[in-house]
Amino acid sequence: MDTKQSPQGHIHPLEHMMTDIVSVCTDLGFTIAYGPEREDGWHNFDALNIPPDHPARDMQDTFFMQHDPTQVLRTHTSSVQIRYMETGVQPPFAVIAPGKVYRQEATDATHEVQFHQIEGLYVSDDASLAQLRGTLRHILTHIFGTDVTMRFRPGYFPFVEPGVEVDMQFQGQWLEVLGAGMVHPHVLENVGIDPHTYRGFAFGIGVDRLTMMRHDIPDVRLLYTGDLRVVNQF
Partner 1 sequence: MDISYQWLQSFFTDPLPAPAEVAEKLVTHSFEIEGVHTVGDDTIISVDVLPNRAHDCLSHEGIAREVAVLYKRSLVSNRYGDIPAITQEVSIPTVSLQTDAVRRYMAVQLADLSIDTIPSWMSARLAAIGQQQIHPIVDILNYVLFDCGQPLHAFDAKKVTGEIVVRHATDGEEITLLSGETVTLTPQMVVIADTEKPLALAGIKGGVAAAVTKETEHIIIESATFDPVRVRTTARTLGIQTDAAKRFENDISTHQAAVGLDRALRLLRACDKRFERGEIRDMVQTEETERSITVSHAHIEAVLGGAIPQEEVIDILDRFGWEYAAERDSYAITVPQVRKDLTRAEDIIEEIGRVYGYDAIPEAMPTIADTPTVSSRYVYEQRIRNTLVGCGYSEIITTTFRPDGESRVANPVGEDRPYLRTAIAPGMQESLTRNVRNKDVLGSDAIAVFEIGTVFSRTDEHLSLAIGWSQGKDKKGRWKEELTETLHALKETLGQSLEVTWYDNVVECNLTRLVEELPPASTYEFRQSSVQDVAYTPFSVYPHVVRDIAVWLPQETDATELETVLHTYAGEYLVRPPRCIDVFEKDGRISYAYRLVFQAPDRTLTDEEVNRVMEEIYARIAERGWEIR
14-53 residues in contact with partner 1 (CB under 8 A) are: 14-16, 19-20, 22-23, 26, 28-34, 36-38, 53
83: contact with partner 1 by CB under 8 A? no
| 198 binding partner 1? (CB under 8 A) | no
CA 54 to chain centre: 21
Report the nearest approach of partner 1 to the CB of residue 191 (Å). 17
Among 199, 202, 203, 204, binds partner 1 (CB under 8 A): 199
Beta carbon of residue 44, minimum distance to partner 1 (angstroms, whole number): 14
Work out which of 55, 88, 172, 192 binds partner 1, going by CB under 8 A.
55
Write the CB contacts of 85 (distance below 8 Å, at least 6 apart in sequence).
123, 191, 192, 193
The window from 41-49, 75-83, 124-132 that contacts partner 1 (CB under 8 A) reads: 124-132
Cα–Cα dist 30/201, whole Å? 13
| Rg for the chain, CA atoms, rounded | 18
Q: Do residues 170 and 145 touch, judged by C-beta distance below 8 A?
A: no
Amino acid at 11: I
Choosing from 10, 40, 42, 141, the residue that interacts with partner 1 (CB under 8 A) is 10
Contact between 194 and partner 1 per CB under 8 A: no
Interaction of residue 87 with partner 1, rule CB under 8 A: no
Nearer to partner 1, 42 or 133 (CB): 133
130-189 positions binding partner 1, by CB under 8 A: 130-135, 137-138, 143-145, 151-156, 158, 161-165, 182, 184-185
Q: What is the DSSP letter of 223?
A: G
Contact 202, 127 (CB under 8 A): no
Residue 191 per-residue DSSP state:
T
Number of residues in contact with partner 1 under rule CB under 8 A: 103
Closer CB to partner 1, 47 or 84, in the complex:
84
Instruction: In whole angstroms, give the CA distance from residue 101 to residue 180.
Output: 17
CA 64, 36, 182, 199 torsion-angle sign: positive
* Least Cβ distance, residue 42 to partner 1 (angstroms): 17
Three-state DSSP state, 193: coil
